[in-house]
A and B are shown apart, each in its own frame.
Chain A
């Protein structure tokens, strides 16, 4: 974070103003240190302390740290430009004491904080008088509230947004959009009380011919009762993507007639000759799973199916891979043999495998063949594959709201274990259940947006915001492992959805905020996302989607060109995959953050210029009232999607 804030604001056209306002803020800092950090509704200050932040980029910085029940905030006292840190406590993965009372050397006594968002923080304190004890205890308690019998901040937040982000996704509406139910597929409420499968959502779509009794029987043969259910159907050829967990074949190679018949019903539904089953795992692992009672669909048992292994590794491999990536990018980018180091992390290689798996799924569906996707339990790799394939196939999911629906449906609804994978509020940093599966998925989405810069309505900022709030615990969106747990904990009534923020339309926003958004929001997001949220909070208050939706234009890609029936096939070659520098290396001030923006900036400038000219022309024509004026205005109206017009459209509620 160490945001040497001046460089990033550079892209603005008025550097003078920036520096002067900056000076002003420094003046006020001496009197009222937390003045520029307004608290969220429900946020409370716990402790302030003079401290030294050992910034990996600018060295040791004296300043003051403030800890609230939501964040850690640091502001340097003497550095110019002032360095600030604004870290949601949810992003903290580990707090350790560094050095002892007798440690020698400057700044050797203090705290070492490991964050989940690709950075580490080091603070040094005076060695006398156990000066770190209180701050360590408080940090430890509030960063890991669940380990201390406290509530996650999302339950304490009093934020309010105009839109309720929780209503972004309505399962029935989404199925209806896909043209379901129909004569081949029906909606079942068999899981209304989570009795069939406790990690599935309540509303499921299954083959029309399968009875509730059939479902119960199949349930016994699938790991954790996660039976094959429909995720997506192709409108024209009726090919479907079904998802499930592995069959419980075991060492003895058990068979289950009901399961076999059930898969055949899926195949029959659109007359596919062969059903393709994509097992996301490497075949070796699938075989090994037999020893623990799992396994895969054998040829002899499932004669009308072909099984394809996609060779994607498990959560442990991914965790280690990202750890290695962090090692080479934080705090400093590996200098010698950067590319070889990058390769040795295997991170992009894993990304490639996930994307190419999804391409195969999408390709099969486009060809009219139904597919079933599973891994071991069907909540990690399976979710990655189905949601990426759906993103390739269905342009609706490439819109801002469609993407929210996709996440709600395939990840949150179908029980990706966010609580375990992220470890919200949990002190056990070495928990083997943690893994950046969702981060990896968002990275895959980013790779797609990079390859198809005009195909997505949302931009990189949305993806970064989602990842920031994946950890922050400010919104309820990514909390808990499954729907059942969310119901038990009354999540939707007690917390706010991120989408409330994202979809919130801007009229209530102050002018100043709007200006800061147009000028430097990009940098804000990159360097200090929470400080951005602070600004917003003056006018806004509550669900991750509440946040997302409040800023529609901010998250919008100006180059977006809707193409409704187009299937996107990204190229899953290392030649085109690149490290998401603006996410993974965003804390490094040397990495210029504006990579993509000059094109965007120029485009927006030109759009504004066009509007200005159109207006002038209109005025001229009015005064002229010349005979050919109608012709002129006609020629210009077809392209009428300037940002300003966009915003006015957004005022109208959806």
Chain B
């Protein structure tokens, strides 16, 4: 029996990729297999609540120190439906601080098909149990497998997949994609266990695997889809209307109607007949013919993104190789131009924005500043913080994307020309820029549902290759295509939100959590490269073949990760809904008025800018000649100063007008205005947490008073008093908001709220080590540093 268990363990370890299918089709059942089956079925049938399976039995008796035995049995995390433990090791030390202090806690380190998990031997304190902001899928000591970024061994040696044979380091450092850092010492564990857990973790986190092995599939097979919680401000908000998924003709038609667009909804690809790479449904300019649709499998098709109220619209496209010279390009451009006033500007983002590789390189440098496993080094690097930040270029990439979006906004808003952005593939920077443009121009996308719909439209349906870009599968041939493009977008959104807080319905915390969720391999949202990919896999994996595809949650089903109270932190207390009457005013007269005005201006009056854009409106016919095509397609990037000065003028003109949070929003792009997303990047670093401070101190007071106002409103309502208030949105839900506040006020908040709440705070302030040594004040006239403050020796008494 004992041998069987060891065998089983190894089998699971080595052949996990096959196990799920193997178990399904099992015909012959021996004792070991039976155990696995029991395990899986007990989990599967548990449904909503994660059951505590009793199979820890394959921890060998020798591992268990006799006195600890009773408590040992409980040492595993609450497993999720479909989650299976691969291996585990006890008496692993998890360091609490940095590697210089040897303080830590002992516990069990496990590796499952979902996560690496550390379960402390110490009883969880009450404080930790009632943490407000708890993720239901994984705890603070859990790392979802796809969230593991890098693993380091002794002497901070980077561990790469294949190299490990029989060795294991005494110390293992895990850097996570959500910027947490874990440090484990394996030197107190039994050699056999240590080796296995190390190899298990390395294998499951770093080695290539097939998509089917991602946890989502076993999770979804074992959960029933509806686990909605009742109550909660946030969930109600979501339930009232759903996020538009853009997976039906109606969704697209609806969105086009909303923006008063006048284009053609294409449903010919609903079964991916045109191309598996194209979205299931999409919108193209009216003039695109059936022939155009089928001819090139959709390559070079201008895809509609958004229509401006003037009638002009934003389109994006995958740029076509210039080899295809039979002027499909011109045809498509003409089609775009016909959309409104025969004007079009094109912009090849590949030429003017960093490549996905640049983005990855820059981010890799940038993230290192926050992956702190050594406090001394942290403080050492503190003095050079600004220049390091500058040199990694991440903020500059953010600035460039925002600037590009402002340029597009300018063309749409000021010049009322159609804009076609293009890029090879058409689903990376095109997604960034088009979604940013829409956020700036359309207040709907700054609401929660609007934002989620925007991500669905531009990113998920828009075919951003989430799987390749995140490389969850660690495929060697996909290393090149890895890039945090979606994160870059969220960074840009954060900058906008930081500068114009009251304009957004969602909070900074929401964005941070969304950026984390990309690495939780449970949501269909981020697991696939495009609609076709998603469809084929979900169908193939479905237990009920030929019927419906596997039902996996999307990330927008926030109740999968957070309970209702925690979800309330996703809303921004500064946001107020737009007063109703204004919208009608805008609808009734403004568009037509502007359209008339823009007729001459867009065609003739617009000064020919030498910027990225080519104003092709007035002489499109000439351009249609193939000769000029190449020049036209490759816009020179040398004249950027002029563009940026035009953008500046546009910004300044906008700035002089009164700021309307429900109107056009532009970001300030000056040096001091583009900042580091502190909450996301600094939240785990103990030394820089401001206890009792940070912006959250103010925001929580705002939500506190908001709760009171809502409560009063409720009381007044009960009295039958009619109010002329603009706080109707949240009126009946005062209770939950108040409850959150009550819970919060008992905890001392820190700048890392809600990710780190109260802990055993060392009352010691962080005192920077290494101070002046690095501060060189040389090269000053007369070496000022050496001089006396007030006069020389004669002035001394």
Contacts and interface: CB of A to CB of B under 8 A. Distances in A.
B295 interface: no
Given A346-B777, A576-B688, A590-B670, A339 B797 contact: no
B346 interface: no
Interface string B652-680: 10011111000000001011110010100
Given A590-B670, A602-B574, A606-B706, A15 B658 contact: yes
Interface stretch (A102-110, A271-279, A296-304, A449-457): A449-457
Contact of B687 (A320, A377, A417, A571): A571
Interface string A599-617: 1001100110110011011
B379 to A, nearest CB: 8
A289 B777 contact: no
A315 to B, nearest CB: 5
B597 interface: no
B672 A573 contact: no
B767 A356 contact: yes
Interface in B613-670: 648, 651-652, 655-659, 668, 670
B382 A575 contact: yes
B128 interface: no
B580 interface: no
Contacts of A585: 672
B693 A455 contact: yes
Contact of B671 (A314, A335, A568, A574): A335
Given A451-B694, A606-B709, A340 B386 contact: yes
A6 interface: yes
Interface string A255-294: 0000000000000000000000000001011001101111
Given A569-B765, A636-B712, A375 B789 contact: yes
B706 A340 contact: no
B242 interface: no
Given A4-B656, A338-B390, A359 B765 contact: yes
B701 A571 contact: no
Contact of A338 (B500, B671, B708): B671
Contacts of A289: 788
Interface in B572-601: 573-574, 576
Given A340-B387, A356-B767, A380-B789, A570 B690 contact: yes
Interface residues of B, number: 85
Interface in B673-702: 673, 676, 678, 682, 685, 687-695, 697-699, 701-702
A613 B785 contact: no
Interface stretch (B145-153, B506-514, B548-556, B719-727): B719-727
A338 B390 CA distance: 8
A616 B721 contact: yes
A609 B725 contact: yes
B391 A340 contact: yes
Interface in B379-428: 379, 382-387, 389-391, 395
B787 interface: yes
Contacts of A314: 784-785, 787-789
Contact of A603 (B652, B668, B672, B701): B701
Given A313-B785, A453-B697, A613 B767 contact: no
Contact of A292 (B383, B651, B793): B793
Contacts of A291: 793
A563 B713 CA distance: 30
Contact of A574 (B382, B395, B709, B765): B382
B607 interface: no
Given A453-B695, A614-B712, A293 B796 contact: yes
Interface string A333-355: 11101111011101011001100
A613 to B, nearest CB: 4
Contacts, number: 254
Contact of B797 (A224, A581, A617): A224
A15 B659 CA distance: 10
Contacts of B385: 343, 573-575
Contacts of B693: 451-455, 568, 570
A592 interface: yes
B768 A352 contact: yes
A161 B557 CA distance: 62
A338 B694 CA distance: 24
Given A320-B784, A339-B389, A620 B702 contact: no
A566 interface: yes
Interface in A1-55: 4, 6-7, 10-12, 15
B504 to A, nearest CB: 11
B777 A311 contact: no
B390 A337 contact: yes
Interface of B: 379, 382-387, 389-391, 395, 499-502, 573-574, 576, 648, 651-652, 655-659, 668, 670-673, 676, 678, 682, 685, 687-695, 697-699, 701-702, 705-706, 708-709, 712-713, 715-716, 719, 721, 723, 725, 727, 751, 763-768, 771-772, 775, 777, 780, 784-790, 792-793, 796-797
Given A366-B763, A599-B702, 13 more contacts: A10-B659, A11-B659, A223-B797, A310-B771, A316-B787, A337-B390, A342-B671, A376-B789, A455-B693, A602-B502, A603-B705, A609-B709, A617-B716
16 contacts: A248-B796, A313-B772, A314-B784, A315-B789, A340-B391, A349-B383, A353-B771, A356-B767, A362-B765, A452-B690, A570-B693, A575-B682, A591-B670, A610-B708, A617-B715, A639-B708
